[in-house]
Amino acid sequence: MKCFLATKKIKLIRSIFAITLLFVFIAFFHGMPVLAKEKMVEFTAKASSTYGNYPKYGADKVADGDINTFWVGGRGEASWWIGFEFEKTVYLKETRICWYPSAYYAPDNYDIQISEDGIDWEDIHTGLVAEYGSNADVQEIGRYAKYMRFNINSVRIIKRNGRKIRYYPAIKEVEAYAGVYVPHSLRFQGRLMDSADVMLDGEFEITFRLYDSQRGGIPAWEETQNNLYIERGLLDVELGSVIPIDLSFDRQYWLGIEVESDGEMAPRFKMTSVPYALCSEE
């Protein structure tokens, strides 16, 4: 940002393996997410005060996309705040602040807080000194939040004509970026049957592998889960519980499965990344 934030839908295509055992899987995706990309999120803004109560200096100016407009805090205040409400709770990666490019209006002490309800606030950064100029003041957040707030504790005191003058804060633009996530673990549920379509019971050792090719290749991820208990053919397993799935899913992957030491079944499951939700497809 010069002074001038796609969730992924992963769908699994069901396959039938006709080698010794027959698997029919439905996939559910959950667990700790892994950051893949970021996108700018929209918000509404309000402030503790506005210079002269003039609308042209209102808090909404920090979100209008125009670097020639700006919010200005009220004159003579001991401190100020400007708050932001997002449309929904997001994983807030960072915020980028374009302060008015003058030492007169740049805070020498400000805090960043977040909140889920707009009542109870968590400090993310305290005692920050504004970076003003041609580049944005970028601050990492790394939390889920519905609200964000800048508490401006003081601005610089400037000596001018032998006098000490204290001005007020001014911000041109604020941007907030949310992380876009893909699964860190995959939960599988399905039926495990033998070649005669008889539901299996008992404990099995199963190895799961993800490849970026349909045949051959080296696994991009692999884990073996021991003593997986199957009752009346029902298999319920969370992939990534042994070794986290640290993949961005920005490419095509295929899932290979091996039961005991019977060799990997064929064909592999084809997994497809599509934007904007999480679902499974039979």
Q: What is the DSSP string of 215-251?
A: SSS--SEEEEEEEEEEBTTEEEEEETSSS-------S
Phi/psi at 218 (nearest 5 deg)? -105, 135
d(CA 66, CA 20): 65
Dihedral sign, Cα of residue 50, residue 56, residue 57, residue 58:
positive
What's the pLDDT band for 30 if we cut at 50, 70, 90?
very low
Residues in the chain: 282
Asked if residue 6 has pLDDT above 50, the reply is no
What's the pLDDT band for 1 if we cut at 50, 70, 90?
low
pLDDT at residue 181, as a whole number:
57
Among the residue ranges 15-19, 198-202, 246-250, the one predicted with the least confidence is: 15-19
pLDDT at residue 272, as a whole number:
54
Q: Provide the pairing of β-strand 107-115 with 137-155.
A: antiparallel
CATH number listed for the domain at residues 8-32+184-275: 2.60.40.1930
Which position has the token pair 């929209």? 42
Q: Which two tokens stand for residue 98?
A: 């374009």
pLDDT at residue 278, as a whole number:
34
Q: Alpha carbon 282 to chain centroid distance?
A: 28
Whether the model pTM is above 0.85: no
CATH number listed for the domain at residues 38-181: 2.60.120.260
pLDDT at residue 39, as a whole number:
79
How do residues 56-107 score in pLDDT, each as one tens digit?
Answer: 999 999 999 999 999 999 998 999 999 999 999 988 999 999 999 998 999 9
How do residues 226-282 score in pLDDT, each as one tens digit?
Answer: 999 988 888 788 888 898 887 766 678 898 888 888 888 888 888 754 433 333 333
Residue from 43, 81, 82 nearest 64 by CA: 43
Domain locations in the chain as residue ranges: 8-32+184-275, 38-181
Q: What mean pLDDT, rounded, does the chain reach?
A: 81
